[in-house]
Amino acid sequence: MSKDKTPRRPRAETPKGFRDYFGPEVTERKAMLDAIAAVYHRHGFEALETSAVETVEALGKFLPDVDRPNEGVFAWQEDEKDWLALRYDLTAPLARVAAQYRNDLPSPYRRYAMGPVWRNEKPGPGRFRQFYQCDADTVGAPSVAADAEICAMLADALEAVGIDRGDYVVRVNNRKVLNGVMEVAGVLDPSDPEKFAHERGIVLRAIDKMDRLGVEGVRALLGAGRKDESGDFTKGAGLSDAQADVVMGFMAARRDTGAATLAALRDLVGASVTGCEGVSELDTIAALLDAQGYGPDRIILDPGVVRGLGYYTGPVFEAELTFEILDEKGNKRQFGSVAGGGRYDDLVKRFTGQSVPATGVSIGVDRLLAALHAKGRVGKPAPGPVVITVMDRDRMADYFAMAADLRTAGIRAEVYLGNPKQFGNQLKYADKRQSPIAVIQGSDEAARGVVVLKDLILGAQIAANATLEEWKDRPAQLEIARTDLVAAVRRMLG
């Protein structure tokens, strides 16, 4: 008779494509998001927190892989009825909210939202299936003044978290201008918007890859196609040389000044009504930003910005960090994009049947946090709590009273709750917690009404550099009256 097999223990590992965030990372992210939220709040935007779960129908077709509907999200069917999914971004839930509560919300409705989103995509280095987004949107404002405000607010947010002026640029374009260029190039028919839709999709994706593929790579994708270094072939849009020249001319239309760029774009769009409207909107945005003091050192007009998503209908923008970092091979490169957005006037229409103007921006939280690390603005170990050591188990109430006094004064503090037998282990614990101070009170100190404060940071420095005689003098240790605990800890922390 065989013995029952011992149940297999589950593996202690995070699922593929996911990660865990520990104390310092969570604290840094919260501090960054709080700074951004303060900027949004100052501009009159209100916070919104939506459910992490939406119906697949509400999320719509705007998924990572348009060729695999519903496969870009984590979805399940409930009671053989609706399919539900974890939200893919924060924009689709906003569209649902704007439609669902349209009779209750002010119009325009200005909101910001921050939180995790989930994408059922193949994970890779630095590419996770769960990540944070930070969005701000205005729903119900048809004027491009709303787009200009979003761009200005994005610049303010970057500076608020520690990105210096000169280390970033917000680049602005208009999809209407690109549509006008495509009309001139013969791949857009205003009377039949669906005609050439496949070719336009390839053109958009090609332009969006300019930074990675360069002029030759984009040109190849506009034509017959491109073979990459591995030999894989990507079919192109099939444009003629003349058609490709028009598109490439659009991408090279940026000039030294905004006025010169606008003039070049006017020449490119020719008689296209849509294209001319787009150029006019860019002119208005530039004037509004200039009136507020947002010059080319912060925000510029750049035809190279197209944004890949198909739901953008007007102005589009992208925040790029311009300082250099070293890649994994040790080569210098610019950090790149950390935020993007634009106008999407047709997204709410899916629910209401009526066009509702909307514009917004999404900040890549993890990328922006990585940028702050690269600039040395975060990443320094945050001090841990003051640790109250335990010398006598029977006096736990006294130790908790000390912690309470410190907390009431706004100082982080905790009582050691492990096995107090080995005092050395308590100090090792305090070191691992990066505690600045250990509070020590044995029975002798209690009888005299005093406590000992051990400066763990200075103590570590002395241990590394001081002579034996200096160490014996214990300059990093101080005996004070119990009644002076809070004041003495404040002085030592200072």
Tally of CA atoms within 13 A in the half-sphere of 113 that contains its CB: 26
Write down the pLDDT at residue 465: 57
Q: Which of 55, 60, 61 is nearest to 78 (CA)?
A: 55
pLDDT tens profile 201-237: 888 788 878 878 888 888 999 988 888 888 888 898 8
Write down the pLDDT at residue 63: 46
Write down the pLDDT at residue 205: 82
pLDDT tens profile 448-485: 999 999 999 875 555 555 554 554 454 578 999 999 99
Q: Which of 229, 178, 245, 241 is nearest to 208 (CA)?
A: 178
User: How far is 123 from 136, CA to CA, in rounded Å?
Assistant: 27
Q: What would you report as the CA-atom Rg of the chain, rounded to the nearest whole angstrom?
A: 29
Say whether pLDDT at 2 is over 60: no
Report for 33-37, 116-120, 351-355: range of highest mean pLDDT:
33-37
Q: What DSSP string runs through 379-438?
A: -SPPP--EEE--S-GGGHHHHHHHHHHHHHTT--EEE--S--S-HHHHHHHHHHTT-SEE
* Contact of 151 with 285, CB cutoff 8 Å: yes
Please provide the size of the chain in residues.
Answer: 494
Q: To the nearest 10°, the Cα dihedral for 276, 280, 281, 286?
A: 140
Q: Which of 407, 438, 434 is nearest to 420 (CA)?
A: 438
- Classify strands 168-174 and 299-301 as parallel, antiparallel or unpaired: parallel
Write down the pLDDT at residue 305: 85
Write down the pLDDT at residue 325: 75
State both tokens at 51: 């459910």
Band (pLDDT 50/70/90 cuts) for residue 301 is very high
Out of 3.30.830.10, 3.40.50.1260, 3.90.1150.10, 3.30.930.10, the CATH code matching 160-344 is: 3.30.930.10
* Contact of 223 with 244, CB cutoff 8 Å: yes
Mean pLDDT for the stretch of residues 318-326: 85
Residue 372 C-alpha from the chain's centroid: 11
Beta-ladder partners of 451: 480
Q: What DSSP string runs through 124-160?
A: BTTB-SEEEEEEEEEES--STHHHHHHHHHHHHHHHH
The verdict on domain 386-493 having CATH code 3.40.50.800 is yes
* Contact of 292 with 325, CB cutoff 8 Å: no
Q: What are phi and psi of 415, to 5 degrees?
A: -95, 135
Domains of the chain by residue range: 16-142+359-382, 160-344, 386-493
User: How far is 328 from 321, CA to CA, in rounded Å?
Assistant: 18
Q: Which of 286, 289, 204, 283 is nearest to 251 (CA)?
A: 204
The answer to which of 188-197, 401-410, 465-474 has the lowest mean pLDDT is: 465-474
User: How far is 218 from 212, CA to CA, in rounded Å?
Assistant: 9
Residue 443 C-alpha from the chain's centroid: 52
Average pLDDT, the chain: 87
Q: What are phi and psi of 35, to 5 degrees?
A: -65, -40
pLDDT tens profile 132-157: 999 999 999 999 999 999 999 999 99
Write down the pLDDT at residue 62: 44
State both tokens at 261: 């760029």
Report for 102-111, 114-123, 205-214, 473-482: range of highest mean pLDDT:
102-111
Write down the pLDDT at residue 330: 66
Mean pLDDT for the stretch of residues 243-254: 88
State both tokens at 219: 């040109």
Write down the pLDDT at residue 359: 96
For a pLDDT cut of 90, what percent of the chain falls above it?
A: 51
Report for 53-67, 274-288, 372-386: range of highest mean pLDDT:
274-288
The answer to which of 273-287, 344-358, 404-418 has the lowest mean pLDDT is: 344-358
Token pair 């004041």 is found at 487
Element (H, E) at 25: helix 23-42
State both tokens at 434: 């990066």
Q: Tell me the three-class secondary structure of 315-365, residue by residue.
A: EEEEEEEEEEEECCCCCEEEEEEEEEEEECCCCCHHHHCCCCCEEEEEEEH
Q: At what angle do helices 145-160 and 273-291 cross, to 10 degrees?
A: 50
Beta-ladder partners of 299: 170
Token pair 């030294």 is found at 256
* Alpha helices (runs of H) in 349-408, residue ranges in sequence order: 349-352, 365-374, 396-408
Q: Which of 341, 376, 337 is nearest to 168 (CA)?
A: 337
Band (pLDDT 50/70/90 cuts) for residue 194 is confident
386-493 and 16-142+359-382 share a CATH fold: no
Residue type, 3: K
> Which comes out higher in pLDDT, residue 458 or 91?
91
Write down the pLDDT at residue 461: 59
Q: Give the SS3 label for residue 288.
A: helix
For a pLDDT cut of 70, what percent of the chain falls above it?
A: 91
> Domain 16-142+359-382 adopts which CATH fold?
BirA Bifunctional Protein; domain 2 (3.30.930)
